[in-house]
Structure 1
Amino acid sequence: MIFSILPSRAPAWKPLALASALTLCALNPAIAQINDDKALAPVVVTASRFANDPAFSPIGATVITSEQIREAGVSNVNQAIRKIGGVFGRQSGDGTQDFGLDLRGFGAASINNVVVLLDGIRLSENEISGALFSSVPIETVERIEIVRGGSSVLYGDGATAGVIQIITKRPQGNALHGSITTEIGQFGHKEVRASVAKGWGGFSLDANVSKLESDNYRDNNAVRQNNFSGGAQWASNEGRAGLRVDIARQDSRLAGALSLAQFEENPRQTLSPNDMASIDTNRYTAFMERRLGAFELAAELSHRDRTAKALFVGSFGSSASQYDGRMTQFSPRVRHLSMSGDLTNELVLGMDFAHWTRSAISTFDGFPSPQANASQQSKALYARDEVKVGNARLAFGARHEIFDKDSVNNGVGLYDISQALNAWDLQGNYLVAPGVNVFAKGGQSYRVANVDENGFTPVVNQPLKPQISHDLELGATLGDIEKKVTVKLFQHRLKNEIFFDPTAGFFGANVNLDPTKRQGIEIETRMRLASTFTLSANLQHLSAQFIEGPNAGNEITLVPKNIATLRINWMPDNSQSADVGMQWVDSQRYGGDFSNTCSARMPSFATLDGRYAKRVGAWEFAIAGSNLTDKQYFTNAYGNCQSGIYPDNGRQLKLSARYDF
């Protein structure tokens, strides 16, 4: 993959002063109205980007709770989304736990078609790089909301396949509580996590640290990670305000790709024993919420520094690169909630501002190339109104966003463009009878090409057009919290989809595809089979293909037609628990097989995992295993046919001990 590099320029807007004023507005009453006896109730963020009101819970969303996370015994956020949420994930090439998540079959471009947020702060990158889920302590997660389908009205660029929102816990009362977890396993796996939180009336502090070391399944694929997350907040009945710091350090060895013959000979081998990479990330966030009668104000201001380094050593020499990126986000918004008789109305108005820069330096055998710089500024205005009357809900939203991008290489401007985009959606939900909900969604979402994609196009220095998707979803939910089934029919019709085409030019290029379409069905169920057994299942069947142009009728690559996930959880009342899960993934086209001429396909596979835990007082001891049948398989293969294969992990057993206080 070839990268372009980006320019720095001063932001045209200055959010810091406004954010400081908003924070102080929330902070003063919070300090004045401390109630030592009142515990802070957990609050969740809904589809309106505000704290939950039961009347306006997200329509058709998948929700993973902290209780489900504990029951399944997952140790990181990405794993929770895959195991509990049933989301398909592709093995990361850097040995980390940050699998590439794919909602609705977007293949190699999946990570750029899903927006990931942490308490309203965007974690998704403006480059070909996935969100660092591993920097989020699993112990702090209150819930994870997965909203599949177009969501650009509230979340903007890249929300065509959906949104993954991670909501963290809020401190409870004056208690001191926390946990310490240690874990060891095969392939030199060692991990330690510690979490602590303390409240003093309306003021609270929390801190989380973790250290992970693993040699991993493949040769030259070791990873070392160190994370810290800490925060302080003041809260009252009228709102809250606070600060957070998140620091992540990651060093990885890169095992590289294999051919099918090499994979079958030894999937653990590497052909690149000296390749390595690292990512250092610092994120600083200020936030506030303030209620003023029927109005509620909220805002987040976040700044992130990110340094990525890589070294590749080949037979023709070595290349090294360093990318230094910075991103500042500011998201003020206001909500008005009104009620009149049987009618409840929620109106949300908001703005999103972002300023992103990156500088890049690379060398080949010690000879430096010119420094490349790039920047992107975006500003958006959105509105969403939802009405609930009796058993019916109806919501409409619209968004207008402007992107300004430029790129400079060795002082020479490569491009400087502005792109304006619109999104809209219309959603409805009706309670037909107790336990029977039907819903429908329609709208337009969008994505703009990131700096890496614009840096390698068929026409040099000509940025790609924005991707536009027209989205449709029909569904129904049957049952209650004890037994519930949700069925969705969906369709995405895309124009100018942004994708890497290996057949463009001599080396391939990032292009705007001819019109494409994705359509299918999703079924999600969770039910209590008995007092001690719970079953959950997810099924996705979809078709992803070109509908116009020379490739009309061809399948989109790296998209399995069918994915099925099944889990059974056992929790008797004797301090024991067990969890067993299976996932089956259908065959799919190799990543470079745009013409669909390769007679071979990436094989289908099924994996089995399990965990048994026993509690003894404040201690929990567990044994867990992944890929228990030791299946040799792969989810990433970017070559044209039987090549470019990145093997997935073999069987791994882990032992853990956790102490809660």
Structure 2
Amino acid sequence: MNFAAFPSSAPAIKPFALACAFSLSVLAANAFAQDATVPEIVVTGARFPAQVSLAPIGATVITAEDIRRAGASDVNAAIRKIGGVFGRQSLDGSPDFALDLRGFGSNSSQNMVVLVDGVRLNENELAGPVLSSIPVDTVERIEIQRGGSSVLYGEGATGGVINIITRRGAQAGYHGSVVLEAGRFDQYDARASVRHGEGPLSFDLAAARQGTDNYRDNNAFRQKTFSGGFQWAANGARLGLRVESARQDMRFPGSLSMEQFEDNPRQTLTPNDFGSYASDRVTAFAEKRVDNVEFAAELAHRERKVESTYDFGGFLSAATYDTRHTQFSPRMRHSANLGAGLNEFVAGVDLSRWERATSLGSDARQTSEAYYLRDEMRLAGAANARLALGARHERFEKKETNAALAVPTGTQTVNAWSAEGSVDVAAGVTVHAKAGRSYRLPNADENGYRSSTGLLDVQTSRDLELGVTAGTEARRIAARLFRHRLKNEIFFDPTLNGGWGANTNLDPTRRQGLEVEGQMAIGQALRLTGQWQRVDAEFTEGPNAGREMVLVPKNVVTARLAWVAAGPHSADIGAQWVDRQRYGSDFSNSCSTRMPSFTTIDARYAYRTGPWEVAVSGLNLADRQYFSNAFGCRSGIYPGDGRQLKLALRYDF
């Protein structure tokens, strides 16, 4: 079940003690300690800040400047608009669209790992990460790594990883911003952030209040967020603490049939359905460098409460979900110069404990422990070759204390591996290849309503990617061919259980396709970027062999043109085209029609004078009536948002 449809009041964050345990490495030759220059840090590689030469192979990076230029008011929108990632309309009116890397349909959020500063946001249930609660003005960059990444990031990373990195420290003195925005459908957004640095100490605070009545009836959404942290950094060490809190209230408009959508896409048939969501998270982190060995760890605890109320013919049914999630991730990295090359060895442990109690009687628990190793070698010279090998072993223990629910208890173990490399075959031309095994575990919701008598089996995937990148910052293009061969894919099959459906392990399936990304500078002031993803998702064995998977558009094309003049003016315009896709219940591919394709256009113009900026922006400017979520054949439709116009005022200090 989607947690957004079961949103609550918030529990208080309970204090906990920070305990650190670090892995040790075998010392080798002294690497960077002898280098008096500070290497440029651009991206996060093997769960550590990385040099340019060891940036993740094939990653897409969205910078803070990209986010601001596009006028994205939340992280989810930045990933869709700038990163070209397809997202489905949320079911609860929130800006948290269901992001989909590599065509995993309605289970896309279960096949993608989302991290904030190295801490997982994924839950052990059918719930997507709430990215709208992350203050967008604190984000330094967003890294999108498509494809199997279970060695470093564990279960659920078959589609890829989205890593959100906030600012590390602050400049001396006080700096910050205040943003006020208002728009159509009674939309408003008030954000403020401040950061301060003095010597080795720094802190930051951010708060926001957002709301909108949204395009559809009974679809109002309200949110309040707060984020604050401090850190101390000196002598190769960094220590800090962050606290984050979010509160949401929303109303659920429900789905429509095709006839109802065509008659009035804004209507609701569920005027009395509503819910709430609350989340509190505290994270302590520590980093220390000793010569050519770096140690790091995060200890994070999150408490979340989700409540919902549904009207069944005048009878109001309420449900409450309370979850607690604690994670501890110590790791180390050893770097060494090897003649003309560089070697990086990473080892780490991921420990996790997840608990949930519901008003429906379920009391589910899951603990996991994982151990991983990864070694990467870069050979300097004209070829600039890189080779990386990695492996992971993880053990999960699942428990349901309410025996009356007949949910099985058990232990599941799984292994992952990866091999990847790249080489410069010519000046400005790099080819790369990746192969590996990734996995996903059945979550508490899926095991709670399953087709089997025991726990659902672990989903595994054999991953393969071949890619090429050519050009410079002024003109660059990258293309990736990929294939994921899945066994025991975990999915809700609507044809089971007498037509009521059930979660099950599917016959073997496959995702394969092509991704293309490009950017081009046009003169001094224009910059064109674009992404194209083509995915063929289908069954490869069993009675459905050759049939297409549901809710997977074959093609998604995104393009953006940014204008940054020398003066105070700037503008940005983008478009995304989404191809046709099978309806959510159409496992047999027998529905006479498919969900229609659609194109959405957004734009922003801004004028800046001194510390002030005023901007006008619009979403779905053509006011296209479309839908990206439909769970039945010509039914179960959740209409997309109509045209949205906004006016914003920003002050930086």
Fold-level match, TM-score > 0.5? yes
Q: Which residue does 2:566 correspond to in 1?
A: 573
Partner of 2:295: 297
- 1:415-468, Cα deviation, whole Å (9 max, x unpaired): 2100000000000000112210000000000000111111111235x2210000
CA distance in 2, matches of 1:359, 1:517: 35
> 1:226-625 alignment to 2 at 5 Å?
226-315=224-313, 317-362=315-360, 371-390=361-380, 391-409=384-402, 414-459=407-452, 462-506=454-498, 507-625=500-618
Mapped partners of 1:556, 1:609: distance in 2:
30
For residue 557 of structure 1, give the secondary structure of its aligned residue in structure 2. Answer: coil
**In 2, distance between residues paired with 1:316 and 1:73?**
43
CA distance in 2, matches of 1:152, 1:215: 39
Show structure 1 runs of 5+ residues with no match.
6-14, 23-39, 363-370
Taking the TM superposition and a 5 Å limit, the aligned residue runs for 1:616-635 are: 616-635=609-628
**What does the per-residue CA deviation read over 1:358-409, in whole Å, with 9 as the maximum and x for residues that have no partner?**
00004xxxxxxxx220000000000000001121000000000000001122
2:405, 2:529 → 1: CA distance?
56
Q: Secondary structure at the match of 1:553?
A: coil
Conserved in 2, the CA contact under 8 Å of 1:500 and 1:508?
yes
Structure 2 SS opposite 1:81: helix
Residue 94 (structure 2) pairs with residue 96 (structure 1)? yes
Q: Contact 2:85/2:100 (CA < 8 Å) preserved in 1?
A: yes
Give the match's secondary structure for 1:638: strand
Q: Aligned to 1:651, which of 626, 634, 643?
A: 643
User: What residue is the counterpart of 1:144 in the other structure?
Assistant: 142
Write out per-residue CA displacement over residues 516-548 of structure 1, whole angstroms, 9 at most, x where no aligned residue: 011100000011111000000000111000000
Matched-pair contact (CA < 8 Å) for 1:107–1:558: yes
**In 2, Cα distance between the equivalents of 1:574 and 1:481?**
23
- What is the identity, as a one-letter code, of the residue corresponding to 1:502? P
* 1:31 match: none
**Deviation (angstroms), 1:18:** 3.0
Kept in 1: contact 2:40–2:52 (CA 8 A)? no
> In the alignment, is the contact (CA less than 8 A) between 1:466 and 1:496 conserved in 2?
yes
- For 2:227 and 2:577, how far apart are their aligned partners in 1? 35
Return the offset for 1:482: 1.4
The one of 73, 77, 80 equivalent to 2:78 is 80
User: Alignment partner of 2:122: what SS?
Assistant: coil
Unaligned runs of 5+ in 2: 7-15, 23-37
Aligned residue for 1:75, secondary structure, equals: coil
Cα separation, 1, equivalents of 2:589 and 2:433: 34
Deviation at 1:16, TM superposition (A): 4.8
User: Could you give the per-residue CA deviations for residues 14-42 of structure 1, whole angstroms, max 9, x where no partner exists?
Assistant: x95532x77xxxxxxxxxxxxxxxxx999
Shift of 1:71: 1.4
Q: Do 2:452 and 2:504's aligned partners in 1 also have CA atoms closer than 8 Å?
A: no
Contact in 1 for aligned 2:526/2:564 (Cα 8 Å): yes
1:588 alignment partner, SS class: coil
Other structure's SS at 2:445 match: helix
Q: How many pairs are equivalent?
A: 624
Shift of 1:174: 1.5
Higher deviation after alignment, 482-491 or 403-412: 403-412
SS class of match (2:176): strand
Q: Percent identity?
A: 55
Q: TM-score scaled by structure 2?
A: 0.94
Q: Partners of 1:143 and 1:328 in 2: how far apart?
A: 25
Q: Secondary structure at the match of 1:255?
A: coil
Q: TM-score scaled by structure 1?
A: 0.92
Give the Å deviation of 1:213: 1.2
- Show the counterpart of 2:174: 176
Partner of 2:31: none
2 CA distance for matches of 1:528 and 1:85?
A: 17
Instruction: Give the letter for the 2:560 counterpart.
Output: R
> Retained in 1: the 8 A contact 2:151–2:418?
yes
* Mean CA deviation greater in 172-181 or 644-653: 172-181
What SS does the aligned partner of 1:472 have?
A: strand
Distance 2:405 2:88 in 1: 38
Distance 1:126 1:67 in 2: 34
Match of 2:34 in 1: none
Question: Who is 1:49 aligned against?
Answer: 47
- CA–CA distance in structure 1, aligned partners of residues 271 and 503 of structure 2: 29
Q: Secondary structure at the match of 1:279?
A: strand
Cα pair 1:42 1:170 within 8 Å, conserved = no
For 2:514 and 2:396, how far apart are their aligned partners in 1? 34
**What SS does structure 2 have at the residue aligned with 1:78?**
helix
CA contact (8 A) 1:448 1:467 kept: yes
- Return the alpha-carbon distance in structure 2 between the equivalents of residues 277 and 530 of structure 1: 50
Shift of 1:44: 5.2
Q: 1: distance between equivalents of 2:39 and 2:115?
A: 21
Tell me the amino acid that sits aligned with residue 257 of structure 2.
S
Contact 2:2 2:126 in 1 (8 A): no
Q: Which SS does the other structure have where 2:635 is aligned?
A: coil
Amino acid corresponding to residue 644 of structure 2 in structure 1:
Q
Cross-structure match for 1:164: 162
Q: Helix, strand or coil for the counterpart of 2:151?
A: helix
> The residue matched to 1:613 in structure 2 has which SS?
strand
Counterpart CA distance in 2 for 1:444 and 1:435 is 30
Match of 1:220 among 208, 218, 221: 218
Which residue identity lines up with residue 378 of structure 1 in the other structure? S
